[in-house]
Chains A and B, each alone.
Chain A
């Protein structure tokens, strides 16, 4: 039987949207779907090698943007961010209710061999290179390759 396929474009760098994307990715991979996670624009912040605020990138503006973004340790909630306290409060609620946290979902995605791919164009804008991203990122790709990877499957934009 041919494997069903889910490809998720993670445009957002928000905590809650990332939780949704990784929940769908790990859930689909766990029930034997092939899963591609395509990180672009703000979503790239979730797969940087340096987990916190880091002035990386080529050029002053790129360093400024990358520093302010804050890395995967500091993604904001899309609502009720409470000046950065929101994600910590939400993670506490998730733990209290035995729901997987973002960190646990990312680890599960890694274990389930979800394919992480990064957008070449957005990386270029933010002045970052392959070496700035986590080792889990298999490839840096453009639109034609993403279309090829997602062909005959379902695509979600988050």
Chain B
């Protein structure tokens, strides 16, 4: 599993880094994204799901938050 910390990034690089990280993975690989509340937490899982990836887990009770994404083709 790859971990990507985007807590220091700002729009649009938060989403850009997640998208590019997912593009490098193979189907079934998992990407753990460490991110802040607000825009990143709202949009990273949504856009990944829209692209067809599986959102395995969203941990929003911790600070920073964590989202686990499984790559789908």
Contact = CB atoms under 8 A, between A and B. Distances in A.
Contacts of A127: none
Interface in B9-30: 9-13, 15-16, 18-20
A99 B10 contact: yes
Contact of A27 (B8, B11, B51): B11
B52 to A, nearest CB: 9
Interface residues on A, range: 10 to 19
Contacts, number: 49
Nearest to B19: A30
A30 B10 contact: no
A111 B20 contact: yes
Contacts of A100: 10, 12-13, 16
Interface of B: 8-13, 15-16, 18-20, 43, 46-47, 50-51
A122 to B, nearest CB: 27
Contacts of B18: 30
User: Mostly helix, strand, loop or mixed at chain B's interface?
Assistant: helix
User: Mostly helix, strand, loop or mixed at chain A's interface?
Assistant: helix
Contacts of A1: 50
Given A27-B11, A100-B12, A112-B19, 19 more contacts: A23-B12, A26-B13, A27-B12, A27-B15, A29-B19, A30-B19, A31-B15, A31-B19, A31-B46, A31-B50, A32-B19, A32-B47, A98-B9, A99-B10, A100-B16, A104-B13, A105-B12, A108-B12, A111-B16
Given A111-B20, A112-B20, A32 B50 contact: yes
Given A30-B47, A32-B51, A108 B16 contact: yes
Nearest to A28: B12
Contacts of A97: 10
B56 to A, nearest CB: 19
Contacts of A105: 12
Contact of A112 (B16, B46, B51): B16
18 contacts: A26-B12, A26-B13, A27-B11, A27-B15, A27-B16, A30-B16, A30-B19, A30-B47, A31-B46, A32-B47, A32-B51, A97-B10, A99-B10, A100-B10, A100-B13, A108-B13, A108-B16, A112-B16
